[in-house]
Amino acid sequence: MIRFIALALATLGAAADCGLTAAAQAVCNHGPAAAPVLARLRAALAHGRFVAYQPTSLQVTNGRVTPADAASIRADLATLRPRFDSLITYDAVHGAENIPSIAASLKFRALIIGVWNPLDEAELNAATDAARSYPRLVVGVSLGNELLFSRRSDPEALGVAIARLRARLPHTPLSTTEPFHIYYPESAAALLGELDFLLINVHPIFQPWFRDAPDSTAAQFVLNVVMKLAQSYCGPILVRETGVPTAPASAGFTEARQASFYRQLRQHFPANSDRAFAYFAAFDAPWRSEDASPVPGPHPEESHWGLYDAARHAKPAARQLPPLTSPPTPP
């Protein structure tokens, strides 16, 4: 997850209309072949509970990856399953090849597979194989995380990558993930037209008002962003990343505030088949404080986004979630 400064248009605004002018006609260009799977994604948005997941055994140090092992992934997912039935991943290799089979065995409802590098043929092959092998579980593939924001790609190249994967997986809904403000300009309409569903990152903590604002304000901010984007995009919108780290306390980040933010978010932003949010993230990742970022300086908060710590112990934000009563298998 990469931090960013949001556009002024997406700050508080009025709750009813976000203080924004009416947008142009919404983009509605979705692949018809993917419609049945998109219906399953909509059902998961409305009735499931998503969490963004990276394996606890995955490590990245100075660009060198220590892959996740299958036994650790199974322990991670068994920990999550009572409270979450839907997953969004970031990578399709480095051990993540094991996630679909383990998630299926634990009766997860839905899986959106993340492809970190859409130019990596091995990763594309792994995502393709998973989508074909688990068609009742895999409800989408996301090509890249903040590729445009970090300038690791451009809209044209990303569009080409999406088209290539669509040729392989015509029945699988495709998306990418960017900070919300990337989709605000009218120039984003072409990219929006390539996406079957929209994945966005919306982080109130990077707003200048966050530290002293009530958590209800932060929750309303997330909803305002989604309302704004719904004016220009007609497909399902899933907030992939939003949340509050639980440390360092000196920056105003605590377990209590994380739990309070999510309580407010559930009140302000009830899920339905068109709009929902994922919890970010499943587990703390101590190595991420040293992860590469386009924003200079140390970022200790990056290690503490989890609803569970690195030893899989539930924090208050997780403990306050009631066990799921949704069907244990994909509908």
**Which residue, chain included where needed, has tokens 């300038």?**
151
**Which tokens in the block code for residue 7?**
């556009």
Identify the helix (H) or strand (E) that includes residue 276: strand 275-277
**Which tokens in the block code for residue 32?**
């018809």
Return the amino acid letter for 209: W
pLDDT score of 325 = 75
Q: Give the tens place of pLDDT for each residue, 196-255.
A: 999 999 999 999 999 999 999 999 999 999 999 999 999 999 999 999 999 999 999 999
What single string gives the DSSP state of each residue in 113-153?
EEES-TT-HHHHHHHHHHHHH-TTTEEEEEEEESTTTTTSS
Count of CB atoms situated within 10 Å of the CB of 250 = 7
* 46 vs 60: CA distance, rounded Å: 34
The strand pairing partners of 231, in sequence order, are none
* 183 vs 148: CA distance, rounded Å: 11
Q: Could you give the percent of the chain with pLDDT greater than 70?
A: 89
Identify the helix (H) or strand (E) that includes residue 264: helix 255-268
pTM, full prediction: 0.92
Residues of the chain with pLDDT under 50: 1-23, 329-331
pLDDT score of 293 = 60
Q: Give the tens place of pLDDT for each residue, 111-123.
A: 999 999 999 999 9
pLDDT score of 10 = 40
pLDDT score of 290 = 72
